[in-house]
Amino acid sequence: MAQDYWFKPKQEGHGTAPSNWKGWAAMLGYAVATIIITLPLIVLPALSGSGPDVWQIALWLVLLPLVTGGFICLCRLKSDGDWRWRWGSKS
């Protein structure tokens, strides 16, 4: 069975870009997870006028890197090719 890649290396720069619907779904999932973490911990307390408490900021600072790190690991596992800097047509 052939490997099902969700992301392909970017033509310029570093990293990957979605190459099919699964990659786009993963990107959407990451965006939704970021919103779900940020909205109740940071945005809603800020809108209420009191601002977020220290525990809310601390929890946000723990959860956001965990979600981001997991997403980066998923991108690397589901990428077609290595991650390196690309110069576009110069490579």
Which pLDDT tens digit goes with each residue over 19-29?
Answer: 999 999 999 99
This prediction's pTM = 0.83
Q: At residue 79, what are phi and psi to the nearest 5 degrees?
A: -100, 145
Rounded distance between C-alpha atoms, residue 17 and residue 68, angstroms: 16
Rounded distance between C-alpha atoms, residue 79 and residue 16, angstroms: 7
pLDDT at 58 over 70: yes
- Residue 1: pLDDT band (50, 70, 90) is very low
Name the burial class of residue 61, with classes exposed (0-12), middle (13-18) and buried (19+) by CB atoms within 10 angstroms of its CB.
Answer: exposed
